[in-house]
Amino acid sequence: MAAAGKTTEVRAPSPEDGHAAPSPSLSKRQQKKLLKQQKWEEERDLRKQRRKERKQLRRQERQHLQDEDQADHHHARKRFRREATPSSLRLVVDCSFDSLMLAKDVQKLHKQIQRCYAENRRAAHPVQFYLTSMGGQLQQSMDEKDGGWVNWKDIRIQTEHYSEVIGKEDLVYLTSDSPNVLKELDHNKAYVIGGLVDHNHHKGITFEKAKELGIEHAQLPLSAFVRMNSRKVLAVNHVFEIILAFLEKSSWQDAFFTVLPQRKGAVALNPAGDEKNQDKDQEFSSDSEPDTKSLESSENVS
Ligand SMILES: C[S@@+](CC[C@H](N)C(=O)[O-])C[C@H]1O[C@@H](n2cnc3c(N)ncnc32)[C@H](O)[C@@H]1O
């Protein structure tokens, strides 16, 4: 009887097996090796096929996990949306400066408005969002680059000037040139943001318009919380997002530092007005393009 685990007999490969008959001069060990090699060669296609199947299976598993993740994320967003408590505060982007802008700046304004829309849709306390004096180059850009804007929800888009849509007594123009500093937000008011990307070419234009119309005006209380190198002029979406953040956090300091990118020179001031952060060489850009990484297309923001 052969010892367990030991093979004592090797049948010589024959042409019937499909194997070339090994030369009789080969030793048993060499014959075994040759057979093994032939088998390995023959099974090459089979191994390839199995590898392919395993890869496909892994891909399917990954896809399945991704689909599950996406579904969870979608449901979380839906839950969040349902839990949002809308604010009665009205926030207007005044698009009446269209003819003062170059096409490239209109495109920046378009992106800033998209950003405002997306942020409002996911805010804890979404505002009553108005776009007034809609038309001209801005509408053209929106039609060409994002036709989905016509399906935007929870926003009033009007061709009329804001003063024809909202009573003057309710209007407060937000403008960095106003001597009045905003302390609180009045939920019965409509705050207006100038829809303008002007690289400081039209300094004071919104302040002048507000005075002409005889409506209230105010600047954000930036100086109390943030050191600014030059004028405290922010981009439309930054002002919009600061208002949303204030509605959520009830703190200007938190609102500014949630929204204003530190890389753009946000320097916190402590209550005594001293700087907390030493990065003094930058300033906010009023005409920046919003970070569109998280920007969802109008159709996707459900
Ligand atoms: C890029 S700025 C336009 C600057 C323009 N030269 C002007 O006179 O308003 C866009 C808009 O954001 C709002 N804004 C910017 N900085 C602000 C600040 N510090 N306080 C209040 N509103 C501000 C204003 O409504 C402004 O019209």
Q: Is the CB of 126 under 6 A from ligand 1?
A: no
Residue with CA at minimum distance from ligand 1 atom 9: 206
Per-residue pLDDT tens for 142-193? 999 988 999 999 999 999 999 999 999 999 999 999 999 999 999 999 999 9
- In 124-179, which ranges are E strands? 128-132, 155-157, 171-174
Q: Which of 200, 206, 246, 256 to mutate to test the pocket of ligand 1 (most atoms within 8 A of CB)?
A: 206
Ligand 1 centre to CA of 232 (Å) is 8
Which residues are registered as beta bridge partners of 192? 92, 173
Q: Is the CB of 239 under 6 A from ligand 1?
A: yes
C-beta of residue 235 within 8 angstroms of C-beta of residue 112: yes
- In the chain, which ranges are E strands? 90-94, 128-132, 155-157, 171-174, 190-194, 216-218, 226-227, 267-268
C-beta of residue 109 within 8 angstroms of C-beta of residue 194: no
Q: Which of 98, 112, 133, 174 to mutate to test the pocket of ligand 1 (most atoms within 8 A of CB)?
A: 174
Query: Has residue 290 got a pLDDT over 80?
Result: no
Q: Which residues are catalytic?
A: 198
pLDDT band at 267 (very low <50, low <70, confident <90, very high): low
With H, G, I as helix, E, B as strand and everything else as coil, classify residue 132. strand
Q: What is the value of pTM for the model shown?
A: 0.69
Going by C-beta distance under 8 Å and a sequence separation of 6 or more, which residues neighbour residue 110? 138, 141, 142, 145, 146
With H, G, I as helix, E, B as strand and everything else as coil, classify residue 181. strand
pLDDT value for 262: 60
pLDDT value for 225: 84
Q: What is the chain's Cα-based Rg?
A: 34
User: Which of 3-17, 56-70, 142-156, 227-241: highest mean pLDDT?
Assistant: 142-156
Ligand 1 centre to CA of 273 (Å) is 23
Quick one: which of 300, 259, 296, 285 has its CA closest to 105? Answer: 285
Distance CA 114, CA 223 (A): 28
Ligand 1 centre to CA of 87 (Å) is 22
- State both tokens at 60: 């399917």
Q: Is the CB of 163 under 6 A from ligand 1?
A: no
Which residues are registered as beta bridge partners of 94? 132, 194
Share of the chain above pLDDT 90, in %: 61
pLDDT value for 244: 98
pLDDT band at 277 (very low <50, low <70, confident <90, very high): very low
pLDDT band at 227 (very low <50, low <70, confident <90, very high): confident
pLDDT value for 26: 84
Q: Is the CB of 201 under 6 A from ligand 1?
A: no
SS (H, E, C) 49-95: HHHHHHHHHHHHHHHHHHHHHHHHHHHHHHHHHHHCCCCCCEEEEEC
- State both tokens at 290: 């919003």
pLDDT value for 71: 73
Ligand 1 centre to CA of 75 (Å) is 37
State the CB neighbour count (10 A cutoff) for residue 3. 7
Per-residue pLDDT tens for 70-109? 776 666 565 455 579 999 999 999 999 999 999 999 999 9
